Amino acid sequence: MPARPPIWSRPWAVTLLFVAASIVMTWPLVTIMDRQVAGDLGDPLFNCWILQWTGGQVFRALQGDLSALSHYWNANIFYPAPLTLTYSEHLTPLMLQVLPVLAATGNVILCYNLLLLSTFVLSGLGMYLLVRELTGTPLAALLAGFAFAFAPYRIDQYGHLEVVTSQWMPFAFYGFRRFFVTARLRPLAGGALALLAQALSCGYYLAYFPPFAVAYCLYEMATRGIFTDARTWRALVVAGAAVLLVVGLFLRPYFQVRTLGEVGVRDPGDIQQFSADTYAYATISSSSRLWGSIVRAMPRNEGQGFPGFTILAFAAVAVGGGLTRAVRHARAFAGAGAARWRQILTVLLAAILLLLLPVLGDILITGRSAPWLARALGLGRDPATRVIGQIASVFVGLLFASPLIRRVARGAPGSTLAFYGCATAAAVWMSLGPVMRAHGRRIGPGLYDIFYRFVPGFDGLRVVSLHFMIVALFLAVLAGLGAATLMERSRRAGRFVVVLGVLAILAECWSVPTAANIRLPAPGYAWPSPQVADTPQVYRLIRDLPAGTVIAEFPFGAQAYEIRYVFHSGYHRKPIVNGYSGFAPASYARLVGPLSHIPSGPEAWKVLLSSGATHAIVHEVSFLGRDGAEVSDWLRLFGAREIAAIQGDHLFQLRPQGQ
């Protein structure tokens, strides 16, 4: 009888292990998770509002008001613009995941933090299942799970729930893998559901991840020689069509709002700004206790893509071990020796390749090569692209000249290592954006440029560097393959090294204590309060106002405060003319100038009335000096009636009800 696997390797035990690790790695979040959010008081508050808005609409529908679902996308910000939920993520799978907790507690901050912690646990579990399936080695799979759950890139993204919600990626690959191994439809359905959950959890991953999922299915079919199998194609097409149908229903309002001209194409310069430089892969978040002050090649916003030395080391073991096995296997089936001219040509081409590889490395690091070498190789304006093309040409020549290299290459299409290695390289290439840059210098057109030009939706996405998470996904698989390779060579020593590797991965990602409730500055205004959990009394009054109430809040247009207005609107659910999101409608842009800072005079009053607002809140304590009092005086001067003054918040009725 086969030996029973150890208890720790069972999925429920692995889940508990990742729960414990997540609590430790985000300490002291678990002790404050009902009143503070991990990260800053920016996007986390905005995501809390999304959860409250969409969850509230579902609650109303469950209580019998089915019309609530017809207004699902017409969120209560940026009044009177329609479909304002589509200006950013809708987070529907995340809302459904935490809906019972939201119903039981009403505490959206608790829900947000639970979702954040769950991303680590589920990412680790999904990767564990995938790599265990690929290698049959639970300890190697465990290392891979830690490599993905605690990839260094996550340190910088605690404030972006949609970005760290990448846990469904390994589950999708696991489901597809099990389908191809067993030919059963149940794992295919599971993989399709995971793909759907991932696509609907983050709009960026909706675009960036499916091409790799499709490539994986094609790889499996090629490996198994079932390209002509009608049953397999039928199952994949049905599963894919079901996913596309549901995704299409969620994309429809996004396309509708795009036709209105409120959101749309991103400027190429804007996209390039948030694309990775090659130096991003040598830059880690300053929050890393181990490397934060050392691995800082090019610190900039959304540019911390350092994969971790430990993860890279295990991935390198996988690549080295795989090449060694491939060469050994090819030599075992070697025939007669190659002709003399082929041997000479092979040596010559290999020498050229050994010259070109350091040149490419130099370009990727410095953004240029020695002038004489650039002239000799004809590198010109796009040196990286040209050198890559030359390397590809030399490799084709090697395939022609060397039977050994041909035999090695024939094994690549069926190699798990080859697929995940190529997927890693493709994800890195995509992360560099439409124009690749090294140390700020152009080194050639990027693969992303093709998708930007020809694939719908890519031209509306700004942060190309989010491919870092997909790079982390594939590197984690490679790290697991490397761990399995070590354990094949020497089980006892390999296990020791793998356990040390897990600890090293955690050390590189260590950022405890986790920062929470970091305030955003509001230039020209008072610093916002660090506390947001307690709903101000003025919003309790707003919640009780009759239907048709529309709120304008001052200070107007200050982002740090606009985010808070949006957050609290999830509680009172009345429309507000203020707002914050990935895009903003033209109606809001017209208000910002006249109403920002200290609005005054009849023109500003007319602009305020034209917004549709029926009430205004002046948060006088949010202004400096007497600025807030001046805004209140301005409203009184033009006939606004003060309804309440509570803790520095003044509520005004701008016009009689019904007008």
Q: Go through 527-547 and write b for each residue having 16 or more CB atoms within 10 A of its CB, e for each that does not.
A: ebeeebeeebebbebbeebee
Is the CA virtual torsion 635, 637, 638, 640 positive or negative?
positive
What's the pLDDT at 7? 87
Question: What is 402-441 written as a DSSP string?
Answer: -HHHHHHHHTGGG-HHHHHHHHHHHHHHHHT-SEEEETTE
Calpha distance 476→481 (Å, rounded): 9
Which of 138-147, 276-285, 341-350 shows the lowest per-residue confidence on average (mean pLDDT)?
A: 341-350
State the average pLDDT over residues 497-525: 95
pLDDT reading at 213 higher than 50: yes
Q: What is the DSSP letter of 654?
A: -
What pLDDT does residue 616 have? 97
Q: Which helix (H) or strand (E) holds 62?
A: helix 43-62
Assess contact for 263 and 589: CB atoms under 8 A.
no
**Average pLDDT of every residue of the chain:** 92
- Tokens matching residue 251: 């994309």
Q: Note the pLDDT tens digit of each residue in 266-291.
A: 777 778 889 999 999 999 999 999 99
Residue 53 tokens read as: 């808005």
Per-residue pLDDT tens digits for 393-411: 988 988 888 888 887 777 7
Quick one: average pLDDT of 465-473? Answer: 97
24 residue type, one letter: V
Average pLDDT over residues 140-155: 97
State both tokens at 227. Answer: 């390209």
Three-state secondary-structure class, residue 79:
coil
Query: Do 126 and 169 form a contact (C-beta atoms < 8 A)?
Result: yes
Phi and psi at 617, nearest 5°, equal: -115, 125
pLDDT at residue 57 is higher than 70: yes
DSSP assignment, residue 283? B
E-only strand ranges, 421-473: 435-438, 441-445
Predicted pLDDT at 152: 96
Under a CB-based contact definition with an 8 Å cutoff, are residues 646 and 537 in contact? yes
The pLDDT assigned to 1 comes to 47
Q: What single DSSP character describes residue 596?
A: B
Q: What pLDDT shows up at residue 409?
A: 76
pLDDT value of position 523: 94
pLDDT one-digit tens code per residue, 26-38: 999 999 999 999 9
Residue 16 to residue 277: CA distance in whole angstroms = 38
Residue 459: what pLDDT?
80
CA–CA distance, 616 with 576 (Å, rounded to integer)? 9
Written as six digits, the tokens of 275 are 């694309």
Q: CB within 8 A of 244, min separation 6: which ones?
A: none
Beta strand pairing call for 441-445 and 641-646: unpaired
Q: What is the pLDDT of residues 442-462, one digit of tens each?
A: 999 999 999 988 888 888 788
Asked whether the predicted pLDDT for residue 502 surpasses 50, the reply is yes
Arithmetic mean of pLDDT, 468-487 = 97
Residue 305 has what pLDDT? 95
Name 38's bridge partners. 516
Comparing 267 with 654, which gets the higher pLDDT? 654
Taking CA atoms, 642 is separated from 171, 219, 651, in Å, by 56, 68, 6
At residue 544, the pLDDT reads 95
- The token duo for 371 is 């002038």
Lowest mean pLDDT, pick from 79-93, 227-241, 385-399, 572-586? 385-399
Q: How far apart (Å, rounded) are the C-alpha atoms in residues 418 and 203? A: 28
- Is residue 47's pLDDT more than 50? yes
- Tell me which H or E stretch contains 108: helix 108-135
Q: Residue 352 pLDDT more than 80?
A: yes
**Domain ranges for the chain:** 7-310+451-508, 339-401, 537-653
Contacts of 184 (CB under 8 A, 6+ apart): 178
Question: What percentage of the chain carries pLDDT values higher than 90?
Answer: 75
- Distance, in Å, from the CA atom of 54 to the CA atom of 76, rounded to the nearest integer, reads 11
pLDDT of residue 231: 96
The answer to whether 549 and 622 have CB atoms below 8 angstroms apart is no
